[in-house]
Chains A and B, each alone.
Chain A
Amino acid sequence: MVTIKTKSFLPVLFAAILSLTFFVFLQQRFFKGALPCANSLSCKESLQLSVRNGEKAIFGNQEIVPPEIDLAQIPQEANVLGAETATGEKHIYIDLTKQTLKAYQGDSLFMETKISSGKWFASPTGDFTIWAKFRATLMSGGVGADYYYLPNVPYVMYFYNSDVPQGKGFALHGAYWHNNFGHAMSHGCINMRTIDAQKIFYWSDPSTDQKSSIIAKKGEGTKITIYGEAP
């Protein structure tokens, strides 16, 4: 009886080990593709220009009034920052440990400021490229007390790399719903003060050329390096 049981048990064990190995392989192979969308409820909708003046926003169980956005109003920065005198490649460095951002053109420091990276979901690390810029969009996600609905998110700059596809919706953008920069506060994106996001928006490539949205051609977008670990 014992011999029969062992004989029948061996194939089952073998099959289990094989299944487990296959599962681990799948996890390793496709884990990157399984990265959750930065804005779980507006994953695709966030990837386009969206102005929703008059709609209420919700963040941290609070109803808030988003800033009105007038696409016809082009700030002075849109003209001035296109005519910068520094030369060299533009590069944005984000230190998650210190929660800071530094933007360089060549060796010249364009901006240094505080940011808020992912708190509820981690911001991705690595080298990225800006692939699209929108003057404003809608971002929504989370559940329960963590639910958020944020129309008119200003100065959105989406970035990607081979591990973080464009469709995942990770971006640098302004944040009007909190002022706690220097501390992790987001769902994976990089939050900035609106005044800082505006400057980076008009400084970085692809140039908006005073348009409200732009999709970068291949190799055109400003490079972003995100490193460290949020506290």
Chain B
Amino acid sequence: MEKHPSKIFIFTTLLSSLTITGFVFVATNKIKNHTPEPTSYASENPPEEKINTKEEILAPDGKYTLVKENKTKTNGNIQQTFSIKSQEDKTSVEIFTKESAKDNLLTVPFNSFAPTNKYLFLEYPAHGKLVHLVLRTDGKDLTKDNQFAEIESAFAEKYADYEITEVTGWGGYNLVVFNTNSIDGKIGPSWWFDVTSLSFIRLSTKFN
């Protein structure tokens, strides 16, 4: 009668130990399975950049749309991408990309498109003035060597006595109209920038 309870006690203890061991084993495995993989901050692929803004600007004849997308980069700069979408066949061509600081972002002026939609100009502020870039809308380079022409620097190289005060729009198929002042502050003439020859034509008529 005395040995029987001991056997029962040993059996119960053994069973309990096995149960506890089994429970601990299962629980440990479960915890292991639910432990997230440590994040690699030195990942080869940077996190996806978020599209901050997307703007669509219709050409004056409604045949094309200029799409401007701004993406914030991890360094705080903005990557700006410009594409042209045809309303007729819905095709889209990327024409220009530029990374800029927030204070130097490209904008699309009201008169951006050339009347033929073959060219357009964009502007951005730099050192308290506006800089204007002329591009082709088919994505090809404007000249043999350059994707675009910068009106201000090209003009300053040839006509140091004047400075551009305002780029207003297109006076013809390939003629950008702009106004100038002389360096001493007097009102200067209006000019055409001929995009096809990259030359400047001084006008007798002032386009205020």
Contacts and interface: CB of A to CB of B under 8 A. Distances in A.
Main SS of the interface on chain A? loop
Main SS of the interface on chain B? loop
Contact of A193 (B60, B116, B171, B173): B60
Contacts, number: 70
Interface of B: 58-62, 110-116, 168-173, 175, 177, 205, 207-208
B62 A194 contact: yes
B169 A194 contact: no
Interface residues of A, number: 23
A62 B170 contact: no
Interface string A103-137: 00000000000100001000000000000000000
B169 A179 contact: yes
Interface stretch (A1-9, A20-28, A85-93, A181-189): A181-189
B181 to A, nearest CB: 16
Nearest to B192: A60
B191 to A, nearest CB: 13
Nearest to A146: B205
Nearest to A120: B205
B173 A64 contact: yes
A195 B171 contact: no
B170 A178 contact: yes
A180 B61 contact: no
Nearest to A179: B170
Contact of A195 (B60, B116, B172): B60
Contacts of B205: 119
A201 B93 CA distance: 32
Interface string A20-58: 000000000000000000000000000000000000000
B111 A181 contact: yes
Given A59-B172, A62-B172, A178-B170, A183 B61 contact: no
Contacts of B116: 64-65
B111 A180 contact: yes
A67 interface: yes
